[in-house]
Each structure stands twice: as C-alpha cells, then as structure tokens.
Amino acid sequence: MTVNLDTATFAGGCFWCMVKPFDTLPGIEKVVSGYTGGTVENPSYEQVKTGTTGHMEAIQILFDPELFPYEKLLELYWTQVDPTDDGGQFFDRGDNYRTAIFYHNEAQKKAAEQSKADLAVSGRFIKPIVTRILPAAPFYPAEEEHQKFYQKHPDRYKAERVESGRDAFIHETWEKR
C-alpha cells in the first residue's frame, strides 16, 4: 500500500512549543523544528534569534492527508497561537516569532485563507487576525538540540510554556469556552 504524504509548514512563535501538539497524532509522520521565510541559507539558531535573517522559527509536518487532513492541522494550529499578535508570540518578541502559515500548493492556500476567514468571523477574538499566509519558502531544519525538545528537556519545556503565557492563553481562549 502506497501512502501519499503531504507537507505543512507553520510558524507559531517558539518552535519548542509547537512540536508536541502535532507530534503523536495518527497520520502525523514527522514534525521538524526549523527556520523559514528568510534570506540566509542554512541559518543557525543564534543567527535567527538576532532577528536579522528574516527567518521565523517554524515547524514542518509530514502527514498523511487521508488520516489527518490539512484542514484539521489548521484547526489545531490556530489553537496553539495568538493570531492577533503581530509582534511575536507571548514573551518571545520579534519578527522571528511571528505567526504564519506557509502553503505548499493552491489547495493549502485556499484552505488556510478559508480557516483564517472563519476564525475572523467566529467572534473568538476582538482584534483582527494578523497571521500571514505565505508561499512555502526553503525550510532549514534546526540543530538537533532543538528537535523534539519536549522529550529531551521535559521540565524546561513545561516551564517555557507556563512562563511565556502560552498555556494560560490557550486555556483562556480555547479550553474554557
């Protein structure tokens, strides 16, 4: 049996916090932390952190659309970010921590635009949805120490989510409603 896998790329602030929500779901083959959207080839974490490369921290997901459709990935993505914050995410500030959906084909572009429009009229947010929808750019995997950070450093991962305000935001915005 041949499985046709697809690729999705999302920027949602700190990539450490974006991997786990997607990583163990049925139909998700692989989630990679990395950098995309900038002008420097093969940037390092230290370079991207400076905010001068144009890259955003992002995750790239290899998935089976028969088991986990792209639209479901979008639904999960929105529940992990503050789509109204154009200055970064939570306590991570700067262009390298902004939100973006990078589409790999016209169907993904259309689905992303529709999901953003649906979220905008849902009444969940008062401020406008500012998450960008952009064509996929070269994606550079981050250094090994940043891959599956939640597994390698569970205490630091948990502290990052709590201290940044991400978990409180998700709870208030999605879980309490």
Q: How far is CA 132 from the centre of its chain?
A: 12
Beta bridge partners of residue 92, listed in sequence order: 89
* Alpha helix segments (H runs only) across 24-165: 45-49, 70-78, 106-121, 149-152, 154-164
Active-site hit among 8, 11, 14, 81: 14
**14 a catalytic residue:** yes
* Separation between Cα atoms, residue 47 and residue 142, nearest integer Å: 11
Q: What is the dihedral of CA 38, 90, 130, 175, to 10 degrees?
A: 130
**CA Rg value for the chain:** 15
Catalytic sites, residue numbers: 14
